[in-house]
Amino acid sequence: MENQQTLASPIAFSGVGLHTGATVNLKVLPAPQDTGVVFRRIDLDDFQIEATIENVAHVSYATTLLKQGVLISTVEHLLSSLYIFGVDNAIIELDNLEVPILDGSALEFVREIRRVGLKQQKRPKTYLIIEKPIHLKERGKTISVYPANSLQISYSIDFAHPMIGKQTFDFEATPQKFAAEIAPARTFGFLDEVEELRKNGLVRGGSLENAIVLTKTGILNDILRFKDEFVRHKILDNIGDLSLIGCPLVGRIVAEKAGHALHTKLVSRILSSPKFHQKVTYSQLREIERQPAFQVQLAE
CATH number at residue 162: 3.30.1700.10
Task: Examine the residue annotation and report whether 277 is marked as an active-site residue of this protein.
Answer: no
Q: In 3D, which of 100, 149, 194 has the Cα closest to residue 294? A: 149
* pLDDT (tens digit per residue) in 242-300: 999 999 999 999 999 999 999 999 999 999 999 999 999 988 888 887 776 666 566 66
pLDDT score of 58: 75
Same domain, 209 and 280: yes
Look at the chain and report how many structural domains it folds into: 2
Cα–Cα–Cα angle for 266, 272, 278, rounded to 5 degrees:
95
Domain enclosing residue 115, as ranges = 3-125
Same domain, 217 and 91: no
Same domain, 293 and 205: yes
Same domain, 138 and 112: no
Same domain, 278 and 164: yes
Q: What DSSP character marks residue 113?
A: H
Q: In 3D, which of 12, 41, 4 has the Cα closest to residue 29? A: 12
Same domain, 200 and 239: yes
pLDDT score of 256: 98
Catalytic residue among 19, 77, 233, 260: 260
Same domain, 58 and 146: no
User: Among 88, 104, 125, where does a domain finish?
Assistant: 125
**Summary count for the chain: helices (H), strands (E):** 8, 19
pLDDT score of 171: 98
> DSSP letters of 76-103?
HHHHHHHHHTT--BEEEEESSSB---TT
Average pLDDT by stretches of 10, the chain with 300 residues? 95 92 96 98 98 90 93 96 98 97 97 98 96 95 96 97 96 97 95 73 76 91 94 98 97 96 96 95 85 64
Please write down the HEC assignment for all residues of 58-70: CCCCCCCEEECCE
Same domain, 75 and 186: no
User: Among 95, 125, 155, where does a domain finish?
Assistant: 125
Same domain, 194 and 109: no
- 213 torsion bin: left (phi>0), alpha (psi -120 to 50), beta (else): beta
pLDDT score of 21: 86
| Rounded CA separation 11/81 (Å) | 13
User: Among 109, 125, 141, where does a domain finish?
Assistant: 125
Same domain, 106 and 35: yes
pLDDT score of 300: 63
pLDDT score of 209: 86
CATH number at residue 112: 3.30.230.20
CB 49 within 8 A of CB 113: no
Same domain, 210 and 279: yes
CB 240 within 8 A of CB 78: yes
Same domain, 142 and 276: yes
pLDDT score of 275: 94
